[in-house]
Amino acid sequence: MANTKSAKKAARQNIRRRLRNRYHLSRMKTYIKRFRRMVEEGRLEEAKQFLPEVQSIIMHTWSKGVITKREASRRISRIYQFLNKTLKTQQEEK
């Protein structure tokens, strides 16, 4: 437990920051899961339209300092790879 006045304030700030970070992280993960579900269910056109929104949420999470720029880039890259791989597989089946 914090003993000094400044340590008590820092503890309060950490709690607020943790909750704010958790909100942004959870929101980002939800959008990614929603996107992946669209692709897996075969709603590819809908997923393509949803992709810029997912990318925007990931970059917003980075801008808030919750994730690093490298992690944001990696996540965006992986969702594009996932969509492209699915599109390629679908085209080969035709």
Distances (CA, A) of 47 to 4, 36, 72: 52, 8, 19
Kindly list the domain boundaries of the chain, sorted by start residue: 5-93
- Dihedral (Cα; 62, 54, 82, 36), 10-degree rounding: 120
pLDDT on residue 68? 97
Q: Using the predicted structure, report yes or no on whether residue 9 has a pLDDT greater than 80.
A: yes
How many Cα atoms sit within 13 Å of 38 on the Cβ side?
18
How do residues 15-59 score in pLDDT, each as one tens digit?
A: 999 999 999 999 999 999 999 999 999 999 999 999 999 999 999
Distance between CA atoms of 78 and 93, rounded to whole angstroms? 23
pTM value > 0.75: yes
Task: Give the list of residues 6+ apart from residue 11 with CB closer than 8 angstroms, or none.
Answer: 2
Class of domain 5-93: mainly alpha
pLDDT tens-digit map of 79-94: 999 999 999 998 887 6
